[in-house]
Structure 1
Amino acid sequence: MNVSRTMIEEAIAKKLDVKCFSSNPFRLADLGCSVGPNTFIAMQHIVEAVERRYLAQGLKSEMPEFQVFFNDHVGNDFNTLFASLPTERRYFACGVPGSFHGRLFPESSIHFMFSSHALHWLSKVPEELLDKNSPAWNRGRIHYTSGPEEVSHAYAAQFEHDMEIFLSARAKELVVGGMIVFLILALPNGIPASQNPYGIMFDLLGSCLMDMAKEVRRMIFYFGIRKVNLTSNS
């Protein structure tokens, strides 16, 4: 958050033309907000940067009120999110449940959209990974790093599809002259996926989950056989 803060503030100072905004309040949205506190820190920094932009353009008398929409899946713990809202915040808070892989807001209604470490989550598991007859069947893995090339291609195709839907929806919701800022995980060109720290982490996690699944199957089999034997003896 601290590393990206300066870049976001510079982008707002150089590119956000607040003179073209006539509506009040100034509306912001955090897509994939989770339950805090990172979202509160980010929103406060952005509100302060926008306020400085109004002052820099000589619009102190036109300083708007701010409204922040916190968005995440319907299963997100919004109770925890709103229970921990900063008391000294300079904005009105709203919750918007729903997937950002689709429309969330009315047309031309949001001035600033923000998303941090959320867009790498896909809308669904690529179907090829679940098909035993597909070369992209990802048996025994929860990630693509140690899988065949077809697996990574399936993930990439799903990501491309999701991003097209995401950006199309945001294009309708953003006001003219508005701004979108995304912080997203990425892999530099030329770096093998197997050397990606996140990939290594997910491979380790997947190995643990597979061991747990095998142990559960072993226990079910053991107790199932024992139950049969006990029934036969009785």
Structure 2
Amino acid sequence: MVSERAQVTNDFNTLFRSLPPDRSYKAFAMPGDFHGRLLPPSSVHFAYSSYAIHWLTEVPKAAAGLKRLYGVERGEVYQAYLNQYERDLEAFLKCRAVEMVKGGIWLFSFLPTCWDPQKEFTIASVIELFRSSLDDMARKGKLSETKLDAFNFPYYIPTPERVWAILQKSNSFSIERIEILKSGTLLTVDGHVACFKAAHQNMLSHEFGAQTIDELFDLFKNKLQTSLVYANPSNDKTLVVVAILKLKNDVDSEVLEQSND
């Protein structure tokens, strides 16, 4: 089963054509927000979520109009994002608990935030550099400073400790294992630009207009290329946290389902 956040450019035909023709399993796509219910109760034995739980249902209302730079978030903005993240992850856990069979396994991975910006970079610091590209575009008059000041990305990149604390509060899942691993991607500059464009192009076109997108990503690429830290893939210190959870056998799925309605 494949579920993705709603994007009009998601090409599920290409996805399904890429699956092996002699596969021993069936596949289907389910549209919708994964923070809500997607599947029938007690229908999933094994679930896997890859680099998805950082997405929020919305930019926190308390952070509206407050600029947020990754790595220096503090005060009202930090607390607003943290509160939103905790609510959304708890909702995600409750929905998956209804959909999974008792004893079912959920494996998920996410990117944590931590780095030494003078010597290395991670996905979180690349996001900060991307935000600086948006600031440069506003200074050039290529996009609205008013719109940019009101704009924040609808995701929160947590620390492993923060996710651990939320998981420990869950009455539905037991934590079987959590490991922090070195990511093996080592993306080049072109790779980072391609990933960011795939994930953000529709969102930014909607906010600032499609005519600004190519120049924005050219600027972003130039920033990456001219930085000694970012230009060398060996400086990529991105970590990945892999967690394995198990649905408790004493969970009452009917009670959980009613609490989600």
Which TM class, normalised by the smaller chain length? 0.5 to 0.7
1:213 and 2:138 equivalent? Answer: yes
Deviation, structure 1 residue 196? 6.7
Match of 2:97 among 164, 168, 171: 171
Residues 113 and 124 in structure 2, CA contact (< 8 A), matched pair in contact too:
no
Q: Which residue of the partner structure matches residue 248 of structure 2?
A: none
Tell whether 2:2 aligns with 1:70. yes
8 Å CA contact 2:35–2:88 kept in 1: the answer is yes
Q: What TM-score, normalized to structure 1?
A: 0.54
Question: Which amino acid counterpart does residue 138 of structure 2 have in structure 1?
Answer: A
Higher relative contact order (CA 8 A, sep 6+): 2
Give the SS at the match of 1:175: strand
The Cα offsets for residues 26-71 of structure 1, whole Å up to 9 and x where unpaired, read as xxxxxxxxxxxxxxxxxxxxxxxxxxxxxxxxxxxxxxxxxxx111
1:106 correspondence with 2:40: yes
**In structure 1, distance between residues paired with 2:97 and 2:44:** 10
Report whether the alignment pairs 1:157 with 2:83. yes
1:1-234 alignment runs, 5 A limit: 69-75=1-7, 76-131=10-65, 137-138=66-67, 141=68, 143-187=69-113, 197-215=122-140, 216-217=142-143
Gaps of 5+ in 1: 1-68, 132-136, 219-234
Structure 1 residue 145 displacement after superposition: 1.7
CA shift, 1:119, in A, is: 0.7
Alignment match, 1:27: none
How far apart are residue 209 of structure 1 and its match?
Answer: 1.5
Name the counterpart of 2:184: none
Structure with max Cα Rg = 1
SS of corresponding position for 2:134: helix
Aligned counterparts of 2:90 and 2:43: Cα–Cα separation in 1: 20
Aligned counterparts of 1:212 and 1:129: Cα–Cα separation in 2: 22
Residue type of the alignment partner of 1:173: E
Instruction: Please list the CA deviations of residues 64-118 of structure 1 after superposition, one character each: whole Å capped at 9, or x if unmatched.
Output: xxxxx11112323212211222223221111111110100001111111100111
Q: Is the 8 A contact 2:111 2:123 kept in 1?
A: no
CA distance in 2, matches of 1:165, 1:193: 33
Aligned to 1:16: none
Instruction: Give me the whole-angstrom Cα distance separating, in 1, the residues matched to 2:99 and 2:27.
Output: 18
Conserved 8 A contact 1:144-1:152: no
Call closer, same or farther: CA 1:187–1:205 in 2, change over 3 Å: closer
TM-score normalised by L of structure 2: 0.48
Q: How many residues align?
A: 140
Divergent runs of 4+, >4 A: 191-196
Report SS of the residue matched to 1:93: coil
Q: Is the partner of 1:177 in helix, strand or coil?
A: strand
Which amino acid letter does the alignment assign opposite residue 139 of structure 2?
A: K
* Structure 2 CA distance for partners of 1:111 and 1:212, relative to 1, 3 Å: same
Instruction: Confirm or deny: 8 A CA contact 1:146 1:203 kept in the other structure.
Output: no
**Change in CA separation of 1:202 and 1:146 when aligned onto 2, cut-off 3 Å:** same
Distance in 1 (CA, whole Å) between partners of 2:143 and 2:26 is 50
**Matched residue of 2:27: which SS?**
strand
Q: Distance in 1 between matches of 2:94 and 2:30?
A: 18
Distance 1:98 1:112 in 2: 19
RMSD between aligned residues? 2.5
